[in-house]
Structure formats: structure tokens, C-alpha cells
Amino acid sequence: MCSILGAFDLRPGADLRPLRPFAVSLSALQRHRGPDWSGVHASPHALLVHERLAIVDPAGGAQPIRSADGGLVLAVNGELYNHRELEQELHGGYAFQSGSDCEVVNALYARDPDPGAWLDRLNGIFAFALWDEARGRAVIARDPIGVCPLYWGHDGDGRLWVASEMKALARLCEDIAQFPPGHWYDSDTAQLRRYYRRPWREHDATLGAEVSPRELREAFERAVHRQMMSDVPYGVLLSGGLDSSLVAACAARFARRRVEDDDGSEAWWPRLHSFAIGLEGSPDLAAAQVAADALGTVHHGFTYTVEEGIDALPDVISHIESFDVTTVRASTPMFLLARRIRAMGVKMVLSGEGSDEIFGGYLYFHRAPDARAFHEETVRKLDALHQYDCLRANKSMMAWGVEARVPFLDVEFLDVAMRMDARHKMVGMRADGTRRIEKAVLREAFEGVLPDAILWRQKEQFSDGVGYGWIDGLKAHAQRIVGDGELAAAAGRFPVNPPQTKEAYWYRSLFEDAFPGEACARTVPGGKSIACSSPAAIEWDAAFAAAVDPSGRAVAGVHDAALG
């Protein structure tokens, strides 16, 4: 994973080449995402700058990638896990110039210049800008869920700019916004179009659909196997929760063989390394060690202090480009962990984001009144992931040049897990009178793979699991540094999504220092958190309407008691 920056000016007589030094300076603001090499393409109507993190084909694969005739120029941030299958299909029709998994985008476009015909065939995480010199056409696209970040906007002269992170455009584009996931933009028509559509988005399309535990398990194992594609050392994030432990368990199964040649040879790094972080004595560190011992990973558990986390907060908010309370809380330990991981020479990790959205793992799903409401909320959560957990995982890790991959959000796995009738995912009473825990269908599919203490461990938000003292310490610090009068006047200082608590005010102030102006603030969703701001959650349980704190343990009657 890398960073891209592009500028396009299609007006007659335009010449962007004099802006090359300026574009390079903007791209340098996101070079932490790609510290291995930089590449530039400059032509009269297009500027593309790429900062590379070399994961696949590190010796080659430099970007921007040019076709053999130089007519197509491509800058990509991401990984395409099914590139080999697509390349075999295109064999003989395009002269590949590198071993990069991303060059298949050029090949697909060369065969069919309508991206709407093939974008949905890409299985991966990506944000790209493609320049067609002959047509004078720019094509911009983002992966279906929005795992890879992408922003766009116009400068004062009307030029279109795109960048992987907001910081590259924040002081240039007054209309800066997130480029929507699952969409592509065509400069020929100036239209933004959706390419990612699935029948399972509608509840009625899932009615009565059965997915066996074996089918679910095998689909996830295939997803993990696909995403282990790497020519550099990699590992797994292991919090000791269900999701990261399942990712680690599947990765451990395949780690000894090289995915890049269909498991035909021994892996270059056959021992799987796992990583966890928390305050001294945290629940996650203890659980992660139990999981690691059971799976046989080379485990690295790191500790941090509340003071170290607070010291890092300005950098964290600058990197994640958000002031959402839950996101900031969880991003900080992840940011600190990423620095440790990169110091060990690891450049890619597998992570467990997405499972809670697919299977209704957040504790308020206990209150869902019926399968339709449950399913519709999972779809809403998936649609919002690019503003929360995907943003957190990507930007916290990429702050130190570590790529986070998310097998639960693999598009093929999504098609299996989301077509399941939601009644199978719901919490409910068993025949013996016991209550079925959240994500039971996933747990049951992996019976025997993990110790019961891990397989049936109840949901903890990451910011809780790293140690309850973390959130308490943040609140206490905010109470000391933010005055009552400041909070009372918050709406005047921050008219866009004004903060409701002193902790939120603190984060918003740090965000404003890095990203002044209302346009940047509008890129961050409003509300208290992804859970507590949910209209469905508030409708299901009035207690959510009064909940100011988004921590999982603040959900009365659910955490610990598990609605027993």
C-alpha cells in the first residue's frame, strides 16, 4: 500500500508541468505511507505522484506504471489479490511492464476503456488514478468498502486534485471531500458512478438463505489465504478477541507455504509473528498470549502508558484525520503498535476489522427487534466503515509504513457472509433457555480452532480491551485541560459537528490545529460514535439516546451481563 496524488486540468492550453515541484511537495506530506520510493509523471494535462511501500515485486513495480507505448499512466494505492487470475485471462493482449499486482488495471482498461465493465471484478483494496493520454481522460476509483482512503477537490483555478490523505489537499481545495467507496469518476463525462452493487444489500434478497458453518469457514480461510500475498515480512495483529484470533488461526495454517506460487514452495518467512498492545495488565494482552500459545505464533506483546498515549495524540489525529472519539481512542494504541512493528522489519499485517459489521458484533445488536432491522443495520455499518474502522486501521498503521489488510472485508467472503438470512446471526434464546452470544454463527463455524476462552470471549471494543485505564485517563486529562466555559461555547468555535464532551472538545481542537476550516471538518462524520449515533440503536433501546460515552462498557445491561 502506498500513497497517490494527482492533478488534472483538461482545459485547452493547460500545462501542469510547471506545477511538478509543488505536486511533489504536497505528495511528500503523505510519504510516510510510501517511504520506499517516489515516482512522478508530468504531462500538460496530468500530474501523478506516487509514494511507494513495496510489498509485492519490491525490486520492480515502481509507479506510476506506464503501458508499453506510454499511453496509459497509473498510480495505485492498494493490493489486488486476484491479479494473477486476471493476468492469465489477459495473456497476450497486453505487454506487462512489471511484476506489480496493480498493473492489471492498465491491462483491463486497455482491453475495455469502460471501467464500469470490469471494476467489480477486482478483489482487493485500492484507490487509483489512471490517465489515458490519447483520450485526454482521467479515471479515478476506490475499492468497494473504502479500505484505502481517497480524497478529492478543486483548487482555485478549477483543477481537479486527488490524494490518499486529506493533509495533501487541505490547504489547496476548499471543497475537499472523501471520494466515495465503490464508485468511479470519468473526466470525459464529469460523472461519478457506482460500480459496486450486491443483491444482499436488500433484506428480501436474503430471506431463507442458508450458509453452512463449513461454507462460512472455508470462505474465510480462502480470504485469509488470498491476502497473505507478500514478498516482504508480514504478521498478524492479535488482540485476543474473536476476530483477530480467527485471522491469526487461518494465517497460521497457511504460513509455511508461499502463497505467491500457489503453495508450491516453502514460505520465505515461514514463522508467523503476532503483535498486541495494551496497558500493563490489560485484558487484550492476556487474551492475546492465550491465543498465541494455542496457535504457536511468535508473539510480541507490547505495553504503553496513558502518558505515552496522550503524548502521541497530536500526531495520531494528524495522521488519522478525524476527531471522532471512538476512532481517536482506538487509533492511539494502534499507532504506537505500528511503530514497534515497523521497527522489527515487518511491512504488512492482517487485521480483524469488518467482522462486527457483518455479523452484528456490537453490543447494541442484542436489542435488534427482528431480522430485517438487524440486516439493514449491518448494511448501514458496512457503508460507514470507511469513515471509522477502515480509516483507523489504514491510517494508524500507514503512519509508520505498515500495511493493514482486512480479510473479513474480502469481497468474495462478503458475498457469502452477507447473503445469509440475518435471523441466523441474531442473538436469541436457545431451546435449553441459554442466550446465544453475539456472532455465534461465526464462532460455531470455527469450533475446535481456538481455545474456548478465546472463541467465546465477549465483545470488547479495542479502546476498552487495551485497558480500561486508557479511556479513564483520557477523560481525566480532558477534564483538566478543557474549561467548562470552553465546552459551553463549543458550538460557536466549531459550528460543524460541535463537540458534546470535554474529551471530544480536546480532540476537535487538535484536529483544528492540523486541519483548519469547515471543509476539512465536514469530512468527519458527526455524532457521538458509530454505535451510539446510530438511529437504529437509539430506536431499539432508548438508553442509547442518552449515552454520551461510546465505550462498549457504557452500554448498560449488555457488557459483562451479556443480557443474561
Reduced to 3 states (helix: H, G, I; strand: E, B; else coil), residue 524 is: coil
- Would you state the cell numbers that stand for residue 404, as one nine-digit string? 493493514
Residue at grid coordinates 488514478? 129
Spell out the residues 6+ positions from residue 385 whose beta carbon is closer than 8 angstroms to its own: 145, 146, 353, 354, 357, 409
pLDDT of residue 261: 81
Contact in structure between 75 and 48 (CB atoms under 8 Å): yes
Spell out the residues 6+ positions from residue 142 whose beta carbon is closer than 8 angstroms to its own: 126, 127, 148, 150, 179, 180, 181, 182, 183, 184
Residue tagged active-site, from 2, 173, 250, 390: 2
pLDDT of residue 331: 97
Phi-psi region of 400 (alpha: psi -120 to 50; beta: other; left: phi over 0): alpha
Q: What is the largest CA-CA distance in the chain?
A: 76
DSSP one-letter code for 101: G
Contact in structure between 232 and 55 (CB atoms under 8 Å): yes
Cis peptide before 64 (omega within 30 of 0): yes
Of all helices (H) and strands (E), which one includes residue 374?
helix 371-384
DSSP one-letter code for 110: H
Comparing CA positions, the residue from 25, 36, 48, 27 lying closest to residue 1 is 36
Q: Cα separation of 297 and 290, whole Å?
A: 11
Q: Cα separation of 475 and 321, whole Å?
A: 21
Reduced to 3 states (helix: H, G, I; strand: E, B; else coil), residue 28 is: helix
Q: Cα separation of 274 and 387, whole Å?
A: 26
> Residue 550's Cα: distance from chain center in Å?
20
pLDDT of residue 561: 46
Domains of the chain: 3-197 (3.60.20.10), 201-472 (3.40.50.620)
pLDDT along the chain (564 residues), means of 10: 94 97 98 95 98 84 91 96 92 85 95 97 98 98 98 97 98 97 98 98 97 98 96 94 97 88 82 95 93 96 97 98 96 97 96 97 90 96 97 98 98 98 86 78 96 85 72 97 98 95 98 96 74 66 62 50 43
Q: Cα separation of 256 and 268, whole Å?
A: 8
| Dihedral angle sign, alpha carbons of residues 411, 415, 420, 422 | positive
Q: Cα separation of 48 and 7, whole Å?
A: 7
Phi-psi region of 349 (alpha: psi -120 to 50; beta: other; left: phi over 0): beta
- Amino acid type, 539: E
Q: Judge whether 2 counts as a catalytic residue.
A: yes
